[in-house]
């Protein structure tokens, strides 16, 4: 019996090795011969724009073919996802997506099933969300997260918070941290603050600087320049501990608030795309991600705090896990049954 067991294990290892060799062979055999398009469902600002635009020139360098980024924004990330689904699955169009597409999928706000239509190729960054206040609007009202919460309690529905999409990842992270901080159900967070959706990060930045909104939800790295200039007052980051890149911003963890949702951004391929193209793109993204310019970008934007690049297998595990987490959030918020 022991001999049979050893033979079975050996056969399994050979099989796994054969699959790995086949994947490597598929990636090696596939050659991109024309322009590759990456569709981003958001504008050029915020966190998504720089994330994709900083890596595509490096992918172009690795693969030796032209790359382009198409920003198709609007509808909380739905417009870009819909446009990508309409493209042929020929290996020359890829989609950058985040948890926003998972949330849209769970709420059936896309004309197709995203989970079954797109394949995770590689995760690029995993950011840490935070609440950033407009310095102009905060003056004389609050100076930190504690006084921000006190102001919200005393002035319900008077505080406006900007984000890329209501019902998206930013919304989930905000609902979680405010529900736990205010000690109310997620369904009641809307009684305390007003959510204002914007199509892109550049519009949110303008609203913060101009004092048109009280605060925003997003990665502190996305607002690093505005934090440095004093136009934005960082209140809290949703992490177990303070970020090494932003040591002066308090974390939810140190306050005893278990709210840690952060946005990841990754590349996806439409189902039916040749596996060789998917494997080749995964390999190119991995190489590009490890190159100094992109590592410098990640360090500068605060993306080095969490694991950045993950290939198909690990990225899929994360995606499947998030489908479970966000389904719970949507049900708790009354957005789905």
- Flag residues of the chain having pLDDT under 50: 1-14, 16, 18-23
- Cα pseudo-dihedral 322, 330, 217, 71, rounded to 10: 70
Six token digits for residue 252? 């939810």
Please choose, from the candidates 269, 299, 304, the residue with its C-alpha nearest in 3D space to the C-alpha of residue 284: 269
Give the model's pLDDT for residue 166.
Answer: 67
- pLDDT at residue 304, rounded to an integer: 86
Distance in Å from the first CA to the final CA of the chain: 51
Measured CA distances, 57 to 8, 36, 54 (Å): 46, 11, 7
* Six token digits for residue 204: 């949110």
Q: Give how far Cα 319 sits from Cα of 52, 75, 102, 259, 289, Å.
A: 19, 21, 8, 19, 20
CA atoms within 13 A on the CB side of 139: 9
Predicted pLDDT at 27: 65
Q: What is the pLDDT of residues 166-176, one digit of tens each?
A: 667 788 889 88
Give the Å distances, CA to CA, from 262 to 33, 126, 189: 36, 7, 19
**Structure confidence by residue, pLDDT tens digits, 43-77:** 888 788 999 999 999 999 999 999 999 999 988 89
Of 150, 172, 165, 157, residue with least CA distance to 260 = 172
Residue 20 has a pLDDT of: 46
Of 279, 256, 283, 254, nearest to 269 (Cα)?
A: 279
Order of strands, sheet of 118-126, starting from the edge strand that comes earlier in the sequence: 67-71, 36-40, 93-97, 264-270, 118-126
> What is the CB-side half-sphere exposure of residue 149 using CA atoms within 13 A?
15
Return the structure tokens found at 166.
């209501």
Report the DSSP pairing between strands 215-218 and 130-134.
antiparallel
Distances (CA, A) of 63 to 152, 211, 295: 51, 44, 19
pLDDT reported for residue 12: 44
Q: Write down all domains in the chain, each with its CATH number in brackets.
A: 32-127+263-332 (3.40.190.150), 130-255 (3.40.190.10)
Q: What is the pLDDT of residue 72?
A: 96
């Amino acid at each position: 019996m022991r001999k049979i067991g050893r033979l079975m294990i050996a056969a399994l290892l050979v099989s796994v090795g054969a699959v790995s060799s086949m994947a490597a062979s598929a990636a090696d055999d596939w050659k991109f011969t024309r322009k590759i398009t990456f569709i981003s469902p958001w504008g050029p600002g915020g966190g998504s724009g720089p994330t994709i635009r900083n890596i595509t020139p490096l992918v172009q360098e690795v693969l030796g073919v032209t790359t382009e980024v198409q920003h198709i924004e609007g509808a909380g990330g739905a417009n870009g996802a819909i446009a990508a689904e309409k493209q042929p699955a020929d290996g020359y169009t890829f989609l950058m997506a985040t948890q926003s597409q998972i949330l849209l999928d769970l709420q059936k706000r896309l004309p197709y099933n995203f989970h079954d239509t797109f394949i995770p190729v590689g995760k690029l960054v995993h950011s840490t969300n935070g609440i950033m206040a407009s310095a102009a609007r905060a003056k004389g009202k609050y100076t930190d997260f504690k006084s921000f919460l006190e102001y919200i309690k005393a002035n319900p529905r008077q505080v406006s918070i900007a984000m890329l999409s209501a019902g998206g990842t930013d919304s989930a992270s905000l609902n979680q941290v405010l529900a736990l901080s205010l000690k109310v159900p997620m369904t009641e967070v809307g009684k305390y603050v007003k959510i204002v959706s914007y199509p892109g990060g550049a519009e949110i930045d303008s609203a913060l600087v101009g004092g048109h909104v009280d605060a925003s939800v997003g990665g502190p790295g996305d607002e690093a320049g505005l934090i440095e200039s004093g136009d934005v007052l960082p209140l809290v980051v949703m992490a177990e501990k303070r970020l090494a890149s932003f040591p002066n911003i308090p974390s939810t963890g140190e306050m005893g608030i278990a709210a840690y949702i952060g946005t990841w951004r990754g590349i996806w391929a439409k189902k039916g795309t040749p596996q060789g193209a998917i494997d080749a793109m995964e390999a190119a993204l991995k190489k590009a991600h490890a190159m100094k310019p992109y590592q410098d970008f990640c360090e500068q934007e605060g993306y080095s705090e969490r694991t950045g690049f993950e290939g198909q297998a690990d990225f899929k595990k994360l995606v499947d896990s998030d489908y479970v987490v966000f389904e719970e959030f949507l049900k708790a918020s009354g957005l789905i049954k």
